[in-house]
Each structure stands twice: as C-alpha cells, then as structure tokens.
Structure 1
C-alpha cells in the first residue's frame, strides 16, 4: 500500500472519478520497452548493424516519456545510427499499427474500475494524444466500456492543461468539479489543472519530482476506491 496524504480543507462527496491514460492506467514505460524490443526483432534484417540494446535505450531517451512524437524520434534514430534500409514512415507506420498489441496495464486496473462502478461512481478519461491511436490503446486494455466519457485531445481540438477539456468532461458527466476526483501522473497537465478546476487531485507517483499540489498521493490503483469512500463519509 502506497503512502497518501490529504490536505485539511475537508472531504468532498465524490460522484465521479476521471483519469489520465498514459502513466496512470497504461504502464507506458513497460509497454514502450516491450514494443521497441519486438519492433527491433521484426525488422532485424534492416537494423542488424545496430546493437538491440542501443536501439531500445536511445528510442526511450528520445521519446521523452511520450512528449516527442515518433516521427521525430525515428528521424533522429535514422540519422544517428545511419539507418538506410528503413524510412521514417515505415518505422512510424509500424509503431502506429502495432503499439496497441503491447499495451500493459498497471496492476489492479480492472478490479479498481469494477469497485468504483460498484460504488456507483461515474467514470471519465481525459488524455492527450492522437485520437485513433489512443482509442486503440484504451480498447487494447479492455476498459473502454467502463467509461461514460472519454476525451482525447486531438478529437477535442485542445489538450490538458487547458481547463476547457476538463469542463467538457464534467459537463458530459453532469457533475460539479468539487464532486469529482482526477487521477493522473503529470504535475502540470493533471494535478495543477485539476486543482485549478476545483477537483480533488490524486497524483499517481512516478519518478518525477513530487507535486505538493495534489490532495492525495498514491502508488497503486487499488488505493483509489478507498479514497473515494473516505471522501464520501
């Protein structure tokens, strides 16, 4: 059980829990390492001049936790490793088509969502990224049916931390910000934005610097249902 804390403003009655995707529900780091390893194996005849470990480690570094789109990542890889047998487009197409097959959830994901549904909590998701790509990953995790609202930045024409995308999700769920909890891993896009909306903010701890703005800090998704129950007392 991970450590958590709550500020002293008082407890909210939680009617809805909204989530980020990457780094919150989807273990993107494990998923990406697995994908890149298999991509190298699939394309080994064209990449054999590059040590596999170097290809994987440099990809992860250039990816920058998903904040650099893969066309730039692959262009840099091709330049650095002098890859001539693969084009940027070929590598990018492979990523877009196949990443969904390597999606790994964080532990307790399905049980946590089931427990929240049993508590009659409305569920939503707000994720930055490309529409079909993110939707494919959500479906690969087998969780789409749990959510009443899923907003993806490309489809909405705006992205976190813009508060309008939070406002849209809350409006669709028909809940107030003060009755909602947002769970994410990014200090600005998730936690600071959720707090600015007036939502209860839960930071899923990662290797980034801790954020003092979160109302709660968790290590495991399994902690969320009990936080909701405590908030409802």
Structure 2
C-alpha cells in the first residue's frame, strides 16, 4: 500500500484503497478453490473472448514489445492461454491462495502476489497488460490511479486489453458480485478514462450475456501513447 502522509496519517483515498484491497484479497482467498474449479476451462466455451485474446496476443507480437502481465490473474488459466499464444507472460494477483493454485497448475509460469496499483516493475518494462475482469472491484474514484500505473509500466506503443461488465449505457453501477463488491461500467465511460491516461482505443466489443451470465460483457483494446 502507499505510505502514510507527512504527519503519519493516511488520506481518506489511501484508507479506502487499503480497505477494499484487503477485503477483495480475503474474499477471493475464501472462494479460490471453487473459483478455479468452475472457471478453469471456461475459455473453451467463449469463442468471441478467445478471438479478442488472440487479437491482443497478435498485436503484442507484431509490435515486438516484450513481456506481458496479466493483472488479477486468479488461478492462471488465461495467463496460460496467452503463453500458448506465444507470449512471454506472467501473472499477478491480490489473493495469495489464487497464486498458490496458479503455481500448482502451471509450474512453468511465473505468478506473484501483488496489487495492480503498485506493480513491482520498472517504468516501460512491459509490452502488454491484460486486465480480465480485474478492475471490476475498484471503486470508481480509484480507477484513474490504476490506468496511470498501467501507463507507467507499459512501454510506448504497449497494449492494454480490458474485460469488464458493461452497464448498457447507464452510469457506473455497483452490483452484488459473489466474491466482493463490484462495478459495471458504460463502455464509453471506461474508454474515456483510458484516453485521459494517454491510451488510444484500437477496438471494442460488447457481448450479450450467455446462459448463466447476468450482464453484457465489455472489452476494450488500447495502445499506450
């Protein structure tokens, strides 16, 4: 977490950030084994999602941009999919139990416990970032700091792919996610936040909810300026 202020007191924003990060990590620790079992093979049923991941991987390879991080990697199955698409990829997640499961399932890949708003990476170190439903738990006023961190660790021209729940044109909406409080975003609103952080949109996709899904699914593919 970020350090305390000049008088040893954290600001309200820092306190909020620390609180929701701790709560989110604990919530996913509690459901990690069930989550891994339910979703490990989910990409096999999602051809449109695989197509976007393929486009992301091809764009990173074409740019010759280097390593990729999946931030909020969970049990690591999407990280492994990106590896299979030819990327030099590693995963980061808040939940220590999720990272344990990922390491057990994919011992050839690197997985680390960490937070998306304070990545242990040098400026411009990455060629790509995948944030696959990992910003959904971020309180809206905290999200610009995450985009700033993504921009910091991406090299110029690096790629960012976001997956999220879309609010179908309505304002940002909190909903009862089974693990931790989460937010649905209008795709235009999320794209605007990215633009303000110096990302240029390459493409977007909206997918209708499938059986068992409640909300429309959004994807944004962007390039760091």
Q: TM-score, normalised by structure 2?
A: 0.41
Q: TM-score, normalised by structure 1?
A: 0.40
Q: Taking CA–CA contacts closer than 8 Å with sequence separation of 6 or more, which of the two structures ends up with the larger relative contact order?
A: 1
Which of the pair is proportionally richer in helix? 1
Compare CA radii of gyration and give the structure with the larger one. Answer: 1
